């Protein structure tokens, strides 16, 4: 059984709780914020050490990558049990929802930055490609959204037929497509551009406009409208 170290037994400089109380949460580093959630370490490893180990597991060594770690992966760390893992996973999900809530549902979705900001935290951490259909009214306000496909690491399939069946059901006037690149690089592929043009052509026949196709990377995005691929 692991031997736990209490916060009070740590060196003062290693006590995230005390630092937060004295200087505020904004004064804590990312490692210290995570350590404050973990609370206790084990013999030979403080909560700060455990926090560093968790962040190092993301591969990119960034705290945002924690959202990609599974319960099983986190529990391989000595001193990180199921309770702590669930706390960490809940904090990651809460952070995602807070980030998304900044974009008001009543905002006009005709601005690529607005759309990307609204969906960034939903898509940037996915390890497979997700294709999301965003359905809008005549004033480009959000009616509904639906994940159309979940692809492999390298590609997601875009079916114009299925996209417009869903858009007609919701009485959408305009639509936006979003999909993520798990690599973190939002540069559009040749297939992304080809598929987008096919959807545009189908929309002209039906009378529903594809106003943008946005590709989400790791905290970056590309708008095919801004690239001039969509008129």
Residue 121: pLDDT band (50, 70, 90) is confident
Reduce the DSSP state of residue 47 to 3 states and report it: helix
Instruction: Give the confidence band of 67 by pLDDT, cuts at 50, 70, 90.
Output: confident
Any bridge partners for residue 180, and if so which?
Answer: 216
pLDDT at position 5 = 44
- The Cα 146–Cα 31 span in angstroms is 35
Residue predicted with more confidence, 63 or 161: 161
Residue of 195, 191, 194, 184 whose CA lies nearest to 222: 184
| 8 A C-beta contact, residue 163 and residue 125 | no
Collapsing DSSP to helix, strand or coil, 124 comes out as coil
Nearest in space to 37 (alpha carbons), one of 58, 7, 11: 7
Of residues 133 and 57, more confidence is placed in 133
Q: What is the pLDDT of residue 7?
A: 46
DSSP conformation class of 19: H
Q: Is the pTM of this model over 0.85?
A: no
pLDDT at 1: 44
> What gap in Å lies between CA 27 and CA 20, rounded to an integer?
7
Reply yes or no on whether the pLDDT at 65 is more than 70. yes
Q: What pLDDT score was predicted for residue 171? A: 96
Give the model confidence (pLDDT) of 78-107 as tens digits. 888 888 889 888 988 888 777 666 655 567
* CA–CA distance, 22 with 37 (Å, rounded to integer): 17
């Amino acid at each position: 059984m692991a031997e736990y170290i209490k916060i009070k037994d740590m060196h003062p400089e290693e006590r995230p709780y005390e630092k937060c109380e004295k200087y505020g949460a904004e004064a804590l580093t990312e490692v210290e914020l995570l350590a404050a959630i973990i609370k206790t370490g084990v013999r030979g490893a403080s909560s700060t050490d455990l926090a560093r180990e968790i962040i190092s597991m993301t591969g990119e060594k960034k705290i945002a990558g924690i959202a990609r770690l599974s319960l099983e992966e986190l529990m391989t760390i000595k001193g990180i049990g199921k309770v702590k893992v669930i706390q960490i996973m809940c904090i990651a999900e809460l952070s995602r929802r807070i980030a998304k809530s900044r974009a008001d549902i009543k905002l006009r979705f005709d601005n690529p930055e607005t759309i990307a900001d609204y969906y960034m935290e939903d898509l940037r951490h996915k390890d497979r490609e997700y294709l999301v259909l965003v359905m809008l009214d005549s004033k480009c306000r959000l009616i509904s959204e639906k994940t159309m496909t979940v692809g492999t690491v390298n590609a997601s399939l875009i079916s114009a037929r299925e996209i417009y069946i869903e858009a007609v059901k919701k009485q959408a006037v305009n639509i936006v497509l979003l999909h993520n690149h798990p690599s973190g690089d939002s540069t559009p592929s040749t297939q992304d551009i080809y598929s987008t043009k096919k959807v545009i052509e189908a929309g002209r026949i039906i009378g529903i406009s594809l106003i943008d196709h946005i590709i989400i990377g790791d905290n970056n995005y590309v708008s095919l409208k801004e690239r001039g691929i969509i008129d």
